Structure 1
């Protein structure tokens, strides 16, 4: 074979060998993979995935509705303010007070937009890029990262939770889109500002403004708003009071960022921006708690608000009204005058509580004081003293009704006599000059129910005028006067003046003040007298505002309930109690009086369980009560005798003593300028009889049996402060109610000038 043949053979052999090597040829394998992952298949798969995601999102969008706000986000505190607008207290587990966006300055609103979401006013409510990043971070375990819009943050705060889960983030996306479509931008911004947490326990801009700058949100400056907006990024780290140097630097950087963004958005003038300085927040201060008098004021305000909600039909029952109040969101302004409140508290402390020493004298632990002060021209409750401390004694002594008002009821009997133009049993008109028989234990005449009350210490006064009987607080005279007027008429006038007489029997024993009453109630009765017979209903509430409901408070000044002449005659007579009666030592001779005219009445109940002075000037009415109460279960009523170191068993606390002294210490500081009563009467303390006195005949009738007094309850509440006791007024105990130690005239031989009566034996009461 030649070389040419060999070459052709090799060539043929090579061609034949090629098919045998082809299975190992890599080029054929790579071609198969390319055929499977072509650009068409990849694009198709991607498109299919997008369609799947879009379909799933459409399903989610259709299935997920905007839910109700979560309970935590809806909780608010109730805010209580004094009459001057200063903060009295915040009450509630969540320190939040929602405010309308319109009450926040526009520039302050924009600080939050500049800080968090510059495109807020134009975007669709979601940030897809930021949300996607957040989902991926959550899946990869990197935690909460990635931005979101103001709308999304509001949705998270108000409708959802803070959980970092994929499902929560997807819900946030869907709900945010719907909220943006259905709600206005202002609605969303207000929700965001009101639900965000700012640190210092403050939820919402109003609470934050108070916490950091001690002012309302409506009064914030742009600089202060920018700080609060900056806080939202890291409240704990950026709180100036506790921030490290790094934290302070970072929050300043953030503050500058906010303001610079506002310039960039043309919301802030560049020149004005350059002149701004960082507004250093004020030191934290705790929100006022319920200690001291605060709890009593809050409780009284809540009780009145609940009554008004029921009266106006907003709530069907008091329980329903309580639920509305407890839900929060109320801004409640009380009529309490901050200065007068302080003066009343100081008067009680200086006069009484500073002298109590329960460790040295156990009886001192039984002493409870209560007081209420009212403006007779407006009906405003200007000051209230509920007890030594609300967190120690939960029952409000200013509003409790379980102690007898005693002889402070006697002016009501005289008012009824004047209003009804009543006459004595022998037909003589009853007035300040009418003469009665003041013999102790003289049975009343004209009653089907026998009653023969003793005067204090069984003193017989003989024939005395009504004026003198009021000055000396003579029981036998007013018992007979009540019968002469008619007990039904007496209770009718008592009700018209403001006393709760529901269920009270019209029996002679009521003439001695044997029903129950509170200092606030008695202040209202005397305020009506001071207001010339025009009804005064003490009002502690100035306003109660809530975003979901309105409360229209009634006018505290009502109609003419007794004639001006009747009311003014009682006032004139009551000036005699001060100038020549049981209150003269504590009130008339007080060096601070400065010539001020005063009308008032003392009262001391059976067995010295309560002691009262209710008095007034032309512009201020105050009722002070001291109550004897066992500080331990069963919290029964006990005697005040011997308290503050007075001789045990002898030293009674009478209405002309500590109660009158507290009244004087407060009133002569708080009353303002000296004023005279403008009285339409010719009767009373300055009137002198010109006729020969004649007595009202008496008739021997067996005294009635008197029941026992209902005891108070002062157990602390289990979950909420106890409400004001509303027990029915109790009838008298073993013996009738009496008043301060008095003596027949003339001549005076008693120890009336010492109203504390430290050495006089306890007379029969």
Structure 2
């Protein structure tokens, strides 16, 4: 008997009987006798587990990794180091007026290659400390940073970060600034090969000689001359650290034109560079502690860009760089490298005739009257202006300064001076758009009465807020309408209105209208326009009023293309940011400033006006350091600013006494030279048109109130008259509930509408020069 037979014999008595099939008529088994899965069970779960096992997942992962490695090896073998020639990549940019005629070519490239031996060793190390501390022992590639950049590019998130010095050199010398996955992969492969074939010193020399430092300077030698007027071999460690810090954002970090934020950022990066050198043992701690920030020399304009050309080209470059940063995800440094001397054809919105007219107006109305030999203060006067078509948002003319060679800083875009009372229409816009009320519940509009007493303490629901601004020349006006307060630029009224509306709402409205409010505090002092703003910003805000509340972002670029590839230029016109009624009411009120207020003598009474309807606002800052007029017709908005700037230190100084105004010392007000420049320009280039307003308020649609029975008084300045002294008014912060204007025949003379739209509130005595404002310690008009 075989073993199998024996085994079967032993098991014969224990084998289970085969299971019989249950007839269909048998009752269904109960839960206690059920065999197999219940009806609610999910047998599919087992199928998923069988398909997605750990072994299969790991196998797939390693398979993908092997494929990627194989693809990278293939790419490494396929991609060769191209013939690099950074200088050959530089091509002239061509800038054209709106009609296609050539404005300028920036064909001169400021570059001089120097050997690394002519750069002090510690200056070399400042670049390593700034960009790539592991430079001397890495493989030339930051794989993590490159992977992040690839993911960001493919997902559309944009900006690249983490490139090594070798990668940046490859990008500058062998490739371009395009942000594509293909270019990034090429950059990685070429960087690996370059790191194997070239010494670290050769790579570092190539990097510092091909980088763009701003001020039209390529390479460290040109940068040393542009910023410190020395050769590269004479740079100090402090100066080298600044140039190394500069590469992150050349224009933003250029000390001569940097905003306070830019100066803070570049100073922080300068400290970061030196601290890294100490950390790496390249700089003694004691020497580091004794180092001070090396302020660069004043810049010089690039050849071929004299007069206004340089200012127009600079703004065009800046706006194009911003578009590349937005659309292609470039960093600021990459964007500048992609624009300057890269063969662009850029057509501007600038109209040749309007540009000539604006330059002529500034020359005849202001700069032709300045004489630095007779008056030192005349050398401190800087003018800036920008003109915008509110129907298109196009910048049609711009004045950046007397000459780009003499004054590199663009006065049309600078934001370091106060816009003063040109900010008051923003407060009114916030009140109207938000249906704001005074603290006694009266709706704020053009006819609302306020207390115009000079140095009247601002009150917030019965509590003083610690702010009591004087009016210009300390003139008090008593009860006065919002229309009259705008005409006369009454500080005490708008300070109270700002608190009534809510300063957070006022600043939010300013932001929506186009003012850069980052870092600005929402405090009552801002009602006097104590923040910084540029003529371009103010023109954009007033253009939004003129465009019935639809946002206008002034644009100088009409079209831009590079080697046949155009860049999409966004529409300068946006959607509504305030209601049409609010915007039109502001416009209506601002016509009163021209016809009956601070701009009357220079604008309304100008013989060139010929009946043209005009809205606008004057502004004069504290200590007479800036003076403005921003005004508009239905088809043209122009903002003109005058700024007192010390020609040597660039410190803000008073303009009082400039041009020899009489009687001495002669304050420069917004209603003087800025308004005169505006009128001479605007009335020469516009056709007569009428505002299309949807409002029932303001000077443009109804007669302005007659002269009140009170007369303005200038209080004698005694020690008892402190800013916090209580004015002789009712306890209400703005007016009493019974003072709501009702336009009935029973109104008092101060509240009765006049029968002629041209009647105006009381004015202060005229000066000896009928076009010049009063002398004295004015604050804000």
Q: Same fold (TM over 0.5)?
A: yes
Quote the Cα distance in structure 2 between the aligned partners of 1:469 and 1:692.
12
Q: CA deviation at 1:440?
A: 0.3
Contact 2:305/2:404 (CA < 8 Å) preserved in 1?
yes
Contact 1:471/1:574 (CA < 8 Å) preserved in 2?
yes
Equivalent runs, 1:501-540 vs 2, <5 Å: 501-540=517-556
* CA pair 645-549 structure 1, distance change in 2 beyond 3 A: same
Quote the Cα distance in structure 2 between the aligned partners of 1:690 and 1:605.
28
Contact 1:399/1:519 (CA < 8 Å) preserved in 2?
yes
Quote the Cα distance in structure 2 between the aligned partners of 1:413 and 1:538.
22
* CA pair 693-364 structure 1, distance change in 2 beyond 3 A: closer
Contact 2:511/2:517 (CA < 8 Å) preserved in 1?
yes
Give the secondary structure class of the aligned counterpart of 1:476. helix
Q: CA deviation at 1:73?
A: 3.0
Equivalent runs, 1:743-754 vs 2, <5 Å: 747-751=762-766
Q: CA deviation at 1:568?
A: 0.3
* Aligned partner of 1:360 among 374, 377, 381: 374
* CA pair 64-364 structure 1, distance change in 2 beyond 3 A: closer
* Aligned partner of 1:440 among 445, 449, 454: 454
The aligned residue for residue 720 of structure 1 is none
Q: CA deviation at 1:94?
A: 6.0
The aligned residue for residue 560 of structure 1 is 576
The aligned residue for residue 442 of structure 2 is 428
Contact 2:767/2:774 (CA < 8 Å) preserved in 1?
no
Quote the Cα distance in structure 2 between the aligned partners of 1:694 and 1:425.
26
Q: CA deviation at 1:308?
A: 1.2
* CA pair 650-485 structure 1, distance change in 2 beyond 3 A: same
* Pair 1:308 & 2:318 matched: no
Deviates more, 1:646-655 or 1:452-461: 646-655
Q: CA deviation at 1:329?
A: 1.2
* Pair 1:761 & 2:761 matched: no
The aligned residue for residue 334 of structure 1 is 348
Give the secondary structure class of the aligned counterpart of 1:413. helix
Quote the Cα distance in structure 1 between the aligned partners of 2:696 and 2:482.
14
Gaps of 5+ in 2: 1-76, 111-172, 175-301, 711-720, 726-758
Contact 1:444/1:701 (CA < 8 Å) preserved in 2?
no
* Pair 1:618 & 2:634 matched: yes
Give the secondary structure class of the aligned counterpart of 2:459. coil
Q: Deviations over 1:667-689 (max 9, x none)?
A: 00111x21000000010014358
* Pair 1:654 & 2:654 matched: no
The aligned residue for residue 474 of structure 1 is 490
Q: CA deviation at 1:324?
A: 1.1
Q: CA deviation at 1:761?
A: 3.0
Give the secondary structure class of the aligned counterpart of 2:545. helix
Quote the Cα distance in structure 2 between the aligned partners of 1:548 and 1:312.
18
Q: Deviations over 1:587-645 (max 9, x none)?
A: 00111111000000000000110000000000000000000000002x10011111111
Give the aligned length.
Answer: 469
* Pair 1:674 & 2:688 matched: yes
* CA pair 542-359 structure 1, distance change in 2 beyond 3 A: same
* CA pair 691-489 structure 1, distance change in 2 beyond 3 A: farther
The aligned residue for residue 54 of structure 2 is none
The aligned residue for residue 380 of structure 1 is 394
Q: CA deviation at 1:319?
A: 1.5
Quote the Cα distance in structure 2 between the aligned partners of 1:502 and 1:64.
46
Equivalent runs, 1:727-746 vs 2, <5 Å: none
The aligned residue for residue 577 of structure 1 is 593
Contact 1:609/1:639 (CA < 8 Å) preserved in 2?
yes
Give the secondary structure class of the aligned counterpart of 1:464. strand
* Pair 1:369 & 2:383 matched: yes
* Aligned partner of 1:464 among 461, 477, 480: 480
The aligned residue for residue 267 of structure 1 is none
Q: Deviations over 1:655-708 (max 9, x none)?
A: 00000000000000111x21000000010014358999999xxxx99769xxxx
* CA pair 752-411 structure 1, distance change in 2 beyond 3 A: farther
Quote the Cα distance in structure 2 between the aligned partners of 1:325 and 1:623.
28
The aligned residue for residue 604 of structure 2 is 588
Contact 1:585/1:754 (CA < 8 Å) preserved in 2?
no
Q: CA deviation at 1:760?
A: 3.2
* Aligned partner of 2:334 among 307, 311, 320: 320
Equivalent runs, 1:210-225 vs 2, <5 Å: none
Quote the Cα distance in structure 2 between the aligned partners of 1:421 and 1:758.
35
* CA pair 584-474 structure 1, distance change in 2 beyond 3 A: same
Contact 2:459/2:465 (CA < 8 Å) preserved in 1?
no
* Pair 1:491 & 2:515 matched: no
Quote the Cα distance in structure 1 between the aligned partners of 2:354 and 2:362.
12
Equivalent runs, 1:11-410 vs 2, <5 Å: 67-68=82-83, 70-93=85-108, 289-315=304-330, 317-410=331-424
* CA pair 759-546 structure 1, distance change in 2 beyond 3 A: closer
Q: CA deviation at 1:531?
A: 0.4
Q: Deviations over 1:537-568 (max 9, x none)?
A: 00011112113865211110000111100000
Quote the Cα distance in structure 1 between the aligned partners of 2:322 and 2:601.
40
* CA pair 480-550 structure 1, distance change in 2 beyond 3 A: same
Quote the Cα distance in structure 2 between the aligned partners of 1:660 and 1:690.
24
Give the secondary structure class of the aligned counterpart of 1:312. helix
Contact 2:672/2:773 (CA < 8 Å) preserved in 1?
no
Q: CA deviation at 1:384?
A: 0.2
Quote the Cα distance in structure 2 between the aligned partners of 1:408 and 1:327.
38
Give the secondary structure class of the aligned counterpart of 1:538. coil
Gaps of 5+ in 1: 1-61, 96-157, 160-286, 705-743
Give the secondary structure class of the aligned counterpart of 1:545. strand
Larger Rg: 1
* Aligned partner of 1:418 among 427, 432, 437: 432
* CA pair 759-416 structure 1, distance change in 2 beyond 3 A: closer
Quote the Cα distance in structure 2 between the aligned partners of 1:640 and 1:465.
32
The aligned residue for residue 143 of structure 1 is none
Give the secondary structure class of the aligned counterpart of 2:382. strand
* CA pair 764-374 structure 1, distance change in 2 beyond 3 A: closer
Contact 1:433/1:688 (CA < 8 Å) preserved in 2?
no
Contact 2:669/2:773 (CA < 8 Å) preserved in 1?
no
Q: Deviations over 1:232-280 (max 9, x none)?
A: xxxxxxxxxxxxxxxxxxxxxxxxxxxxxxxxxxxxxxxxxxxxxxxxx
Contact 1:534/1:562 (CA < 8 Å) preserved in 2?
yes
Contact 2:412/2:535 (CA < 8 Å) preserved in 1?
yes
Quote the Cα distance in structure 2 between the aligned partners of 1:608 and 1:692.
29
Quote the Cα distance in structure 1 between the aligned partners of 2:402 and 2:100.
25
* Pair 1:607 & 2:623 matched: yes
Give the secondary structure class of the aligned counterpart of 2:589. helix
Contact 1:577/1:583 (CA < 8 Å) preserved in 2?
yes
Contact 1:364/1:643 (CA < 8 Å) preserved in 2?
yes
* CA pair 608-67 structure 1, distance change in 2 beyond 3 A: same
Quote the Cα distance in structure 1 between the aligned partners of 2:409 and 2:82.
42
